[in-house]
Amino acid sequence: MDHTHTIKIFSCRGSRPIAEKIAQSLKLELGKSEVTVFSDGEFQPAFNESVRGATVFIVQSTYPPVENLFELLLMIDAAKRASAYKVIAVMPYFGWARQDRKDRPRVSIGAKMVANMLGAAGCDRVMTVDLHADQIQGFFDFPVDHIYASSIFLPYLRSLNMENISIAAPDMGGAKRANAYSRILGCPLIVCHKSRERANVVGSMTAIGEVEGRNIIIIDDMVDTAGTLTKAANMLMEKGALSVRALATHAVLSGAAYENIANSQLAELIVTDTIPLRPAPGADTSKIKVISIAELIGDVIDKVYNYKSITPTFVF
């Protein structure tokens, strides 16, 4: 890499495995940093090497607990105060993205607030993978590199060599994403329609489209409790599907998610490593396949650092 400003990649505590893979893909060492934790739980991150004049990439997915987000903010602030040339937040999973609008009175728009906090901390740019809603990019007053996991999912789907594939959206909100996959693969689209009783609890569900005799791939941006996903898979199998797989970029997997997946009719759940899997001891993870997105993020970092276009990286 030929550049006047050196490139340095650091990791917060919540995303060390993927940060190490990103650095490896760029043939770089992960920067040295540490976090001092006080007895009351307060913590203070610090860089253990100079970042003066450097383009600093800080890797952290902001999944709960909220400390993951706050540690990233403190690291950005520390880099700015240490005279870094540019500070870029690499957020494989952008937390609080489900709060992207006021869907009922008297609620916050959490994604906008996170964008404001990143700007206030001194962030110059954000890189993230498969935002819950594309319009979140408009919450920022600086560049956002929105990376699509389709670049790694599509080759995997093709490698399965399955016939009679149909792509399914688990709900109406995911129809646009699923439609993009069905267009690229040239196969039919199914839309599952659900009615929610309350957050994370699905009531009834029906499918729009031809299900019988098809190998179905459900496409989603994240899997949380896996309630919607497993209900959709079971319903599609009941309607005569040959098999049901699911692709979900972000493996949030909270609550009874591992149990739900293991007990469902899903043949396979394919996720990326934007969030590290954290199963309870003894949890059945046999149906979950993790494909690393680190190399793709590393490629985008390299292009951004060298002022090259990142458009060719994206499938859609």
Task: Select which of 21, 194, 287, 308 is catalytic.
Answer: 194
Give the CA distances from residue 216 to residues 49, 59, 182, 264, in Å, rounded to whole numbers and listed in that order: 50, 34, 11, 15
How does DSSP assign 20-32, residue by residue? HHHHHHTT-PPPP
- Whether the CB-CB separation of 141 and 122 falls below 8 Å is answered with no
List the one residue out of 172, 100, 89, 186 whose CA is nearest residue 135: 100
27 is catalytic: no
Nearest to 46 by CA among 82, 95, 18: 82
Cis peptide before 65 (omega within 30 of 0): yes
- Nearest-angstrom CA–CA distance, 63 and 69: 8
Burial of 18 (0-12, 13-18, 19+ CB in 10 A): buried
Question: How far apart are alpha carbons 5 and 8 in whole angstroms?
Answer: 10
Residue with tokens 């989603």: 220
Phi, psi of 277, rounded to the nearest 5 degrees: -65, 135
Strand partners of residue 9: 57
Active site residues: 194
